[in-house]
Each structure stands twice: as structure tokens, then as C-alpha cells.
Chains A and B, each alone.
Chain A
Amino acid sequence: MKNRLYGQQPLTRSSMSRRRFVTGLAATGACLGLGAGSALSMASPNSRQGPVTLRGNQFDLNVAYQAVNFTGKSRVATAINASVPAPILRWREGERVRLRVKNNLAEDTSIHWHGIILPSGMDGVPGLSFEGIKPGESFEYQFDVNQSGTYWYHSHSGYQEPRGMYGAIVIDPKEPEPFSYDRDYVVMLSDWSDEDPQDIYAKLKKFSHYYNFSQRTAGDLWRDIKEKGVAQTWRERAMWNHMRMSETDISDVTGYTYTYLMNGATPDEGWVGLFKRGEKIRLRFINAASMTIFDVRIPGLTMTVVAADGQNIEPVSVDEFRLGVAETYDVIVQPSDDSAYTVFAQSIDRSGFTRGTLTPDQSLQAVVPAMDAAPILGHRDMGMDHGMHDMEAQAEHGAQADHNQHDMSHRPGAEHHHQQPMTGLMTVDHSAHSDHAEPLAKAGFGSNRDIRHLASEHGPHVDMLAESPQDGIADPGIGLRQHAELHGRKVLTYADIRNLYTTADPREPSREIELHLTGNMSRYMWSMNGIRYSDAEPLELQYGERVRITLVNDTMMTHPMHLHGMWSELETGDPLHIPRKHTVIVQPGSKVSYLVTADAIGRWAYHCHLIYHMAGMFREVRVR
């Protein structure tokens, strides 16, 4: 079936206040009337219901500028079929899909099918997969769909994705699902700014904490001194002061400029999903934001996670999960009464949220909870050897912190026993080092190697090295670690995720590739191994080989890393049931390992999915 959404749709968006998480200007609660008489042709015509669904195996996708209004100000989006988010594409496993993309923009465009295993030429990354789609031209993507589940698609050109070019992909399986449900909803989370993305990037380059309005103040200091005393407060603050880093530096871009959306609806509008009592509802959560990691929960309902990044997993029941940019989770909830429930997604830095409602009745809404406390980074998030809760760790190892500072802040010229001469070689390939006589850790358990920092990580472009990165697998992540004890919430961690099926490639990894995520926050520079993409050699993989990639996060930011074309098989502790992901969160100052079977010839992108990190924190992966 051809798509149904070309041109105008009835405007049903009602006049209601649209709240922005803006502490300045006059945008709070701005009322505006965009009724049916409005001259603007609005994207996502009925934003409370989300975008339309297009089914079949042939699709026409039209990329064009589109007026949108999320905040009370009209802005131009780059939209697919005049909709933000773009239409949901519903495919069937085993079919061949043809997608004709017409570029009506004045600039090149592209569409990347995120998480779809396909030939390199169809992956949609300009410069790697193909040349991009020129203005006025069309490109036909064609590939076999050999997987099922929840995925998404977005532009891989310039800043079109943050300007609205993203949509969901739902692939119905050939075989019946291993779980049952009565309702099926896509819940796509995203962030929208009225600012031009280029301006946001320039602001970050000029003043990196421009959007952080949660910095420590004199009042915080006074409260800490009253509660903890001068000595303890000094110990806690000294390291941060010494390192010139901020423990409240959680998100680079915040609710100061972002309006967070759920299926294109602002929090004041609120997306609505209907159900009847006792029904099982499948919610397909997709994080299509450009810079925002969300923490998701539905107060009053336990969520059973049945799929991660589109792949079925052994069901696990949780109250809350963190959704990194580009990750997806499918959950099933079953309300047993006629109440309404709030689907609540707060940004990782608690600078804003979006929300929707699961309700048996359009008129019924649930209470929107307050946001949780904002995370404060601790020693472990700096890759320091303090494996406990930060407060306890500081109390117990306060004296040690000073010692560690010196380790962490030493710079070029300082001796470093892990240091290696800088070579053209991009990675630390452990198999190539004879000093590692012991075998690689078994598949499924992650790396057991000591990490090493390359010489290329030293210089003005890198402000932090994690000396003792913690394992990021069992860590709920910053801001969520105390939710079990504080709120009694079971928070999903990667350690909970086991593939529903047996590991497809049971081979042990033949070698281990260590990659460091690096950057300088205040200069706003991002790189891998201290080398930005434009200066980097491709990462070479042999066709057919099975390797382990260990990512070490030498920054204070949480980076969602996306490998195109091949699965990232996350080593969560069970070699027989290694889950397959396309995007993996690497916690600040932590490390994480996954296995990759290089079964896809070609040139592939491998990068941080935060849009303003991506240009530097990017590698080409070449499989041949």
C-alpha cells in the first residue's frame, strides 16, 4: 500500500498551553491558538495520536521543509511526508522492501535504517554507503528484511535529524511472537529546539556549559557544609575543583532549549494510548532524540521488557529503564483497572520530561509525577577506583582521592606506564601484544584485560582519562543507582538482558579491540582514542572474524555508541544467551564489552549517537 499521508491533514491540534522547560524568556505556558483556521500546515496533524502508519513493501518518502510549532513559535523542520515524527513504517519479515526517497530540500539528504541488517550500499550514510541524495533527486533503497521487531529511521545528513527527520520502523515477524498482546503502540521520544542546531553547536564550542542551569551554587555549598561539615565538603569538592570539572555536567544540551516530545506531542499535549481493562499493551519505546537520554517509567504499572533494540530477550520485569539515544525497548504492561496511567520519560539530567497517558477513556488523565533528583557525578563516573556509592566511597577513601587526582590530571610529558608511542594504528589490539600471554576472556563475560591509554589520548583535546574504569554492565547508571532503595523501583541494567534465543555465533573472540571514548568538555571536542574522525584511519575487520570490542569511556558523559551493519552482542554474563544490540550505552568513566561477528562486507559507520558528539567521536569500520 502506498502511503496515505501526502499534503494536508485535518488540523485537530487544539489550543492549549505548551510548556517548555525554559527558565528564561517568556515561553512558559505560552498560549496560542493554532486551530483549523491557521495558515500553517502543521506537521504531525494529530499529535496526541502520533504519526500515521504506512504498511506494505513499497514506500514513497518525501523529504521537505515543513512548518512546525512545538513551543508557540513557528519553525521549519526537515520532515518526511510532512510529519514529525515521520510515518511509522510497518514491514514484514521475509519481504523485500522498496523505499523511494525524494529529496525536496535545498541540501543533500539521506535516510539510515537504524538497526536494520542490510547491504552496505543501502545503509544510507553519505560518504560511506553512498553519495547521499542531491536536492531534487530520488534514491530507491531496496533490501530484504530478515529480522523483526522495533527499529527506527532517520537522516544521516547534517542536522536534519534534530530538525525532525526521524520515524519508527515496526517489522512483523514471520513466526508468531513469543509473547502475546492486545494493543501495540510505538512510543517515540525525541527532543525539539527552536534554536538552529548549528547555533547550538557553536554555543557549545564557545561556552560548553551554556545549557547547564544546575551548577553548584554558594547555597549548595553552605547546605553541604551544614550537613556534612567543612572537612567532608572540602574532600568532596576538592577533586572537582582541582580537575576543573563539574559534577552536575550531565547533559550538554538541556530542557533550557529542548521541548521533549512523545510521538511528536509536547508534555502539555500528552500523547494518548487507549486500552480496555485487562488488556496487554505492547509499548515500543524508541529514543529518537538528538542529545537526550531518557529515564522511563509508568507509575503504577510494572513493565515487562520483552525486546531490546528490536531483538527478543528473556522477559524481565522492571519499574524503570534508561533509554539511551537510538536504543529501543519493547515492554508489555497490563493495567488491571480502569485508571489512567502516565507514561513518564524524564531527561537524564532532570531538566525536563515528556509524558503521555495510557487510558481507558480519552478524557481521563493520570497524575504527572515530579521529576527525580538530578544526578551528581561521583568518583566512579570519573573512572576512579571507588566501586561503591560515591558518598561512602568518599568517606572511606577521602585521603586516597588526592592521590588519584594526580593520576588523573597528569598530562603530556608525564610518565605513564601504559603509554605507547603514537602510531597510525587506531586501536589497542591485544592479540598483537606479546606481553599478554593469558588468553582472552571467554565470550559472554567481557574483557578481563587491563585497559591502556594511548599516547594520542594526551594533549589539549582530552581532559580526562579513566584510570580504573568500572564495569558498566550491571550499573543502572548515574542518577538511577539509588532508585531501588529510595523509591523501591527495580531499574533495568544491561546485566538483566539475556537473548531469548541461543547465541547465533558461539565462537570465542579471536582478538580484542580497545577503543577509548575521549573528549574535552570545555573545548567541546570529541574523539575516539584522542583522534577525531577526520584524522582517523578506518577500523579494519576481517570478513567472518569474531572480535571483542571494549569501549572505555574517558569522559564524564554517557555515550550511546552505534555500530552500523553488524550486531553489537553485549556481554552481559551468559555466553549462551548473548543479547544483540545496535546501540550500547557506555557509562561515564566505565567500560563495556561486546562481540561483533564481521559478517557484512563494506564500509560502515561507528559513532556516538549524540548529534553534537558524532562528528568527532566517529570511526569508519571497514569489513573485507
Chain B
Amino acid sequence: MQQLTKPLISLPARFSLQTSLMTLLLIWGNTSLAAGDDDPLVSKLIIDQLELRDTDEDETWVLDAQGWVGKDLHKLWFKVDAERSEGNSQELELQALYNKAIAPYWDFQLGLRKDLKPSPSRSWAVIGIQGLAPYYFEIDSALFIGESGRAALRLEAEYELLFTQRLILSPEIELNLHAQNDAEHGIGSGLSDIEAGLRLRYEIRREFAPYMGIYWTKRFGNTADFARQEGLDSSEWQWVIGIRSWF
């Protein structure tokens, strides 16, 4: 039962540390037992959102993906958040985390986050909890500690409502809080923004589901002020169309 590993996610070269860690994982090894290996090395790449957001003014491409490689209780976990508008990369955020199962439905995550866009880039340490709360709420929460006293908290929750075995409505909400202003990034202290989405997907296969839905965001306090200076509304909503996939 070796060779469960699929080709690994390719990451920017600057994350070569992770590449070497993955090599270590591969050496983790398989024991030869009467019963076979119950805990083989497995990897998964999940593209939660690969979507086009459509407003009156412009079109935005969004990628929200995560992946992991590892065993039952210990994994290396990666997250990518990218936004591209009018051919320009507006946002590119990468996370590389060590993931440890701490409870039947909960994982603890520790690692690094790098915001490559917008510039100037930002680096953060990450402490997070990800898992499934009672009543099937998928939770992803993290505390980010950056340079110069920057700190941020992100809370995400997602739910799935099955209309049929394949037609699934998925509401989700994300809250971002910041400890201080970051004018270069247009972020204000306190509750900076709330994002909410409602996506209806059809699972052609488990691994592949096109969807459509709506996306709504609202900026608060200084964040809203920064946005207004840029000529943006403090809140906006957009139609989205996209693909959810994993393998």
C-alpha cells in the first residue's frame, strides 16, 4: 500500500523549506505488516473556490485553495488566497502550516503566512484551529502575528445544505479583525471587514462541482474610510460563477 501519494502541489520556490519537509514526510515510511499499512502518506488538493466575480465595473478572478500532505494525525497544510483584477494581481496570500489532529473533529495549525500582494509584502506567524463544529459548521480560524506589532484574527464558517445528494447550497462567512491600522494595505483596526457568500454547486463527481452564487462584502471603520479614499464602496455585492474541485 505504498504510492498513495499523488503529485504534490507545486509551490513558489521560496517555499523550498516545505519541499524539503515533504521529502522528510516521504521518508516517514511504510511499515510492512500482516495487515498492510493503515496510515499511508496521503495528499489532497482542495480548490474551494476558483471563481469569477462580476460587478458593473470590473471582473475579478479569485482562487481559494488549500492542500495537505501527511498522515492521519500529522500533516503539512497549505493555503492559497489569490485575487486578480484587470490583469493585475490584487491579492496573493500563502500559508504553510504544520497541522496536528487534537480532537476527533479538530486540527491545530501552526506556521507562516506570507502576503506577496498587495505590496509591500507582509509576513505573519499563524496559530489556527480548523475543523468541524457541532451542527456541521466547518470552521477555520486563525490568529496572525506580524511584524511591527501587527496582529489579525480571521474567523471563517461554512455550512452545507443538501437539496439532493449532488445539489448543495453552501453559505459561508468570514470576519477579519486587525489590531492596528495598516494604511499601505488599506486596513483599519478593529473589525475591518465581513465577507459572506452563498454558492449553489452541483457535484458532477464528488471531486468536481461547478457553482454559481453571490458574494457580499462590507468594510468597517477605518477600512471603509481607506476604501472610500480609493473610490470604493464600503460594501458591495457580486455575482460569482466558479468551480469547486479536489483531488
A residues with a Cβ closer than 8 A to B are 23-24, 125-128, 156, 158-159, 198, 201-202, 205-207, 210, 213-219, 241-244, 411-412, 459-463, 520, 522-526, 532-534, 605, 607, 614-616, 618, 620
Contact = CB atoms under 8 A, between A and B. Distances in A.
Contact of A201 (B32, B40, B133, B161): B40
A534 B204 CA distance: 38
A127 B4 contact: no
Interface string B221-247: 000000000000000000000000010
Contacts of B104: 411, 459-463, 520, 522-523
Nearest to B247: A206
A534 B33 contact: yes
Given A520-B104, A534-B31, 6 more contacts: A23-B165, A159-B36, A244-B132, A460-B101, A460-B106, A607-B35
B167 to A, nearest CB: 9
B136 interface: yes
A198 B161 CA distance: 30
Contacts of A241: 134-136
- Size class of the B contact interface (CB-based, 8 Å): 35 or more
A127 B106 CA distance: 35
In the complex, the 7 A-B pairs of residues with the closest C-beta atoms, listed nearest first: A615-B38, A616-B38, A460-B101, A127-B34, A463-B104, A618-B35, A615-B35
Contacts of A459: 103-104
Contacts of A533: 33-35, 38
B107 to A, nearest CB: 8
Contacts of A620: 34
Contacts of B39: 525, 532, 534, 615-616
Contact of A615 (B36, B106, B163): B36
A524 B40 CA distance: 12
Nearest to A25: B205
B185 interface: no
A350 to B, nearest CB: 14
28 contacts: A158-B1, A198-B1, A198-B3, A201-B1, A201-B4, A207-B206, A217-B165, A218-B161, A218-B163, A241-B136, A243-B134, A459-B103, A460-B101, A460-B102, A461-B72, A463-B105, A523-B104, A525-B39, A525-B72, A533-B34, A533-B38, A534-B31, A534-B33, A605-B35, A607-B35, A615-B38, A616-B39, A620-B34
Interface string B69-109: 00011000000000000000000000000000111111000
A217 B164 contact: yes
Contacts of A526: 38
Contacts of B204: 24
Contacts of A207: 206, 246
B205 to A, nearest CB: 6
A528 to B, nearest CB: 11
Contacts of A205: 4, 40, 42, 72
B44 interface: yes
B103 A411 contact: yes
B182 interface: no
A293 B31 CA distance: 29
A210 B34 CA distance: 27
Interface string B150-168: 0000000000011111000
A461 B163 contact: no
Interface string B117-136: 00000000000000011111
A392 B169 CA distance: 33
Contacts of B246: 206-207
A523 B38 contact: no
Given A202-B42, A243-B134, A460 B32 contact: no
Nearest to A24: B205
A460 B103 contact: yes
A216 B162 contact: yes
A24 to B, nearest CB: 6
Contact of A244 (B33, B134, B165): B134
B72 A126 contact: no
Given A215-B165, A463-B104, A242 B135 contact: yes
Given A411-B103, A522-B105, A605 B165 contact: no
Contacts of B1: 158-159, 198, 201, 615
Nearest to B162: A217
Given A215-B165, A525-B72, A605 B103 contact: no
Contacts of A412: 103
Contacts of B36: 158-159, 614-615
A201 B37 CA distance: 11
Nearest to B34: A127
Given A460-B73, A460-B103, A210 B163 contact: no
A219 B134 CA distance: 21
A534 B3 CA distance: 19
